[in-house]
Amino acid sequence: MDIAEAMGKLEAEMRELEGSLAEPNAAANSNHFRDLSKRYAEIQPVVGLYQEYRATGQETIEAEALLDETEDGEMREFLTTELETARKRLARLEKDILLALVPGDPMAGKNAIVEIRAGTGGDEAALFARNLFDMYTRLAERRGWKSEVLDQSEAEMGGLREVILKVAGKGVYGSLELESGVHRVQRVPETESQGRIHTSAATVAVLPELEEVDLTIDPSELSIEAFRAGGPGGQHMQKNETAVRITHKPSGISVVCSSERSQLQNRERAMGILRARLYEQRRLEQEREQAAKRRQQIKSGDRSEKIRTYNFPQDRLTDHRIGLTLHNLPALLGGELDELIDALREYKEKERLTEVVEDVA
């Protein structure tokens, strides 16, 4: 991809759009006018960046020429400073343009389905899964997102074997997608009488919540079963078959939902989770075909396959992908993850920029 060529095409398209939008009868077809306006709004900022890039490039050339011609010490110092500033601005603008030329993840603005499962470590892993669940729900509260439990399986001592959480809000999936992977905890369990540090793990998978229009599933490919949900017994015992298991026969993916008292509600929730898992499976298959090096979201839950470690004795969190270490675990587990999320977003942007530069080269 040549930047000048690509931007030349965008500038020509913007001029054409400006002409179309300025026509007297442009608004007669509201849908067409909306599409034109949307496209114009998408490319106008990119063209603006390129215009600033060209102007800055010209400033750089002029400053270099003046510096070659000037012998005055103070003037040379001034021009050297100006040239350095212009070069830095030019590099930043080039990076912004490269990123803008590559379409972002169309799912970034979606709501997210967060699946947390206890891995290696028995009861302690289940307790850690509960900690992660609390961390994400508190993060949602702090950011004004809405969280809702779609399904969960309790464990002993208040832990969670598995929990599926829907988080709704602007740009949730784009903010949380890099939380996917194995999270490891090192601490002394409450049941440990010798004071020994134990290592446990839990897996997190963050999937975009899809609508039916995003991914269509052939009903003939589904096996749907209703059964009686387990309960505490007595007057709360479910007498009707309200729990639902949906299996997508071609992929073998199976989803069970039993948290609601209505079979219809459980079915709708199960379909939502199924769509998200199918989308993720297909995306990973496509990336493998394209020789992408992206790591699988869910692994075995073994301690060695980790993206992050929560070390309680040293009061630190370390994200192993970016080498970032933060302290104050109580605050971090209380949902204060802004610094971490921002660092991961920058990491993703650098990876994306590397791919773009390789395409340009």
Check pLDDT > 90 for residue 239: no
pLDDT band at 235 (very low <50, low <70, confident <90, very high): very low
Please, what is the end-to-end C-alpha distance for the chain in angstroms?
A: 7
CA-to-CA distance for 298 and 326, rounded, in angstroms? 24
Structure confidence at residue 234 (pLDDT): 38
Q: Above pLDDT 90, what percent of the chain?
A: 52
Q: How confident is residue 232, by pLDDT bands cut at 50, 70 and 90?
A: very low
The residues that bridge with 205 in the sheet, in sequence order, are 115
Query: Residue 71's pLDDT is what?
Result: 86
Structure tokens at 91: 């590099």
Give the whole-number percent of the chain exceeding pLDDT 70.
87
If pLDDT is split at 50, 70 and 90, which confidence band does 236 have? very low
Residue 209 neighbours by CB under 8 Å, 6+ apart? 110, 111, 112, 113, 166, 168, 173, 272, 275, 276
Q: What is the mean pLDDT of residues 202-231?
A: 84
Where residue 5 falls among pLDDT bands split at 50, 70, 90? Answer: confident
| β-bridge partners, 168 | 146
Q: How much is the pLDDT for 179?
A: 95
Residue 147 pLDDT grade (very low, low, confident, very high; cuts 50, 70, 90): very high
For strands 324-327 and 316-319, give the pairing.
antiparallel
The first and second tokens of residue 162, run together, are 């598995």
Average pLDDT, the chain: 86
Report pLDDT for 203: 95
- The band of 338, judged by pLDDT with boundaries at 50, 70 and 90, is very high
pLDDT tens, position by position, 110-142: 999 999 999 989 999 999 999 999 999 999 999
User: Alpha-carbon distance 191 to 197, whole Å?
Assistant: 11
Q: What is the pLDDT of residue 357?
A: 59
pLDDT higher than 70, residue 360: no
pLDDT over threshold 50, residue 291: no
Residues 6+ apart with CB under 8 A from 125: 118, 119, 159, 200, 201, 202, 301
Please check the confidence at residue 294 and state whether its pLDDT lies above 80: no
CA atoms of 167 and 152, how far apart (whole Å): 15
* CA distance readout (Å), 143 to 53, 57, 167, 336: 35, 40, 11, 10
pLDDT confidence of residue 356:
58
Taking CA atoms, 295 is separated from 73, 93, 141, 185, 287, in Å, by 55, 30, 29, 21, 10
pLDDT at 213: 64
Predicted pLDDT at 359:
55
Residue 28 is classified by DSSP as G
Give CA 259 to chain center in angstroms: 26
Q: What does the domain layout of the chain look like in residue ranges?
A: 3-101, 112-351
188 — phi, psi (to 5°)?
-90, 115
Of 2.40.10.220, 3.40.190.10, 3.30.70.1660, 1.10.3720.10, the CATH number of 112-351 is 3.30.70.1660
Give the 3-state DSSP-derived string for 201-229, with helices as H, strands as E and coil as C: EEEEEEEECCCCCCCCCCHHHEEEEEECC
The tokens describing 320, both together, are: 């192993």
CB atoms within 10 A of CB 136: 23
Residue predicted with more confidence, 305 or 205: 205
Give residue 9's Cα distance to chain centre.
Answer: 31
